Amino acid sequence: MSSEESGVKKETEIGLLLHAIIFGYQKAVDSVLGAGAAVLVPHAVDGIIRLYEKGGFELAISENIEETIAHFNKKVKELGFAEEVVFKEEEKGKFLFEVKQCAYVDPTHALISPKIAICPIAFLAAAILQKATNKQAVISFSEFIKGGTKTYITLK
């Protein structure tokens, strides 16, 4: 069934496909490398930044974190990824990133077992923070909650 037949927006269908690829890959890497898989996360964030730059896209609109976060939240809503994303700086350089009413909760979150994965939108959020601040973003595993995720991102 095509996205037009199911009534699903093409952006949502693409996002679902990307979630499936990323979560499937994370699960495979975790099953092979175990805890050692965490060393790959900073390289993934760097890769996201390089791909965006090569593609001519603006990852961080300014060095002002608040402006960049507001722009990111607007884009997430426009693309239909989620109703809202929230960044809370809980302590200097440590952010709680929350995705609320994620469009991909069903079925992808139910299929993630064990819940050792990083939300793909959190990967993008980390890349945006890293680009805006020129500090390395370190991502914790996401907590899969009703309607979305919570992920800690620390700038080093």
Q: Which two tokens stand for residue 88?
A: 């809370």
Q: How far apart are CA 17 and CA 21, in angstroms?
A: 6
Q: Which domains does the chain have, with CATH numbers?
A: 3-155 (3.30.1380)
Q: Which two tokens stand for residue 21?
A: 């690829």
Helix (H) or strand (E) holding 138: strand 137-139
How do residues 103-134 score in pLDDT, each as one tens digit? 888 777 776 665 678 999 999 999 999 988 99
Of 17-26, 132-141, 144-153, where does mean pLDDT reach its minimum? 17-26
Q: How far apart are CA 30 and CA 10, in angstroms?
A: 30
Can you give the pTM of this predicted structure? 0.82
